[in-house]
Structure 1
Amino acid sequence: MKRTLAVSGAAALAAFGFAALLLRGLDHPQPAPGVVATTSAMPTLYCEFYNFVGRAPKVGFTFSTSRANEAPAFAQVNQIEADGTRTAFGADSEPSRNWTFEAGDPPNLVSPDDAIRILLYGYEGTTSAGTWFEAGLRSIQYLNLDGKCRCGGV
């Protein structure tokens, strides 16, 4: 019984710590650890989505962005889960994941396996750099979650 309580307490503390680190990026110009900085030389898009209760971060995505023939391209750099799990893409162990950009109202990012869709409600390309804008996550795994994104390094 004591062991179960200790493990549960440690898990709750770890989740709280992760949430606090991610939320710190909402109030300060410095991103949370593991998040690509908004002042980096490489243009990026960072999106984080919140659970239904308490507005704690549930999952975050970082993309490197580029423009090829005026169409924006988004390559996933990492994915951070609420439990602290982080998956880095583009390395030898995990191949790059290029998401599809669908222009529209709102624009969408669609994962390569078509399982996740990110709705970019306030996305204006380079004009939205540095400011948070509303976004929505649509997936079977994460359900429908509200969140925010911001562009950096543009």
Structure 2
Amino acid sequence: MTVDLSWIAVVKGLVLLLAANGAPVLTSVLADARTAMPIDGGFRLGDGRPLFGAAKTWRGLFAALAATALVAYGLGYGASTGLWFAAWAMAGDLLASFCKRRLGREEGSHLRGLDTPLESLLPLVSVKSQLGIGWFEIAFLVGVFYLIESWSSPLLYKWHLRKHP
């Protein structure tokens, strides 16, 4: 029986996506709220809205970097690949938050077609050669991650792990 190596890479890519995007959420539940220092320092732009918002914290950023580096190392990619992956996932998350604040959306709100694609597409493209995946696998992973996010978000809210469904 032969195993298509691209499917193994796809599963590993999904695990990295879950680590990078799940670590900040898990950390916000487990850590003391006093350690949640916003990345934007409370800065507001001329429109009166926050740059990113209070939910985007240094604690979450560092949690994503550390967790994804450990997971990537465990998957055989090396910690540097995990750091790079997490950095791009968090950049996508911050970009989505920036856009949502400009559109007047509340912190924690989801904007279908903006949040999940940015948080998954940017990191996958950034390490596609290290993961050994192509554009088809990236498109597949973005879609699967979108479905997982759509399915899990209401559950995380119900279980009080998220502030908004």
Q: TM-score, normalised by structure 1?
A: 0.34
More helix, by proportion = 2
Higher relative contact order (CA 8 A, sep 6+): 2
More strand, by proportion = 1
Q: TM-score, normalised by structure 2?
A: 0.33
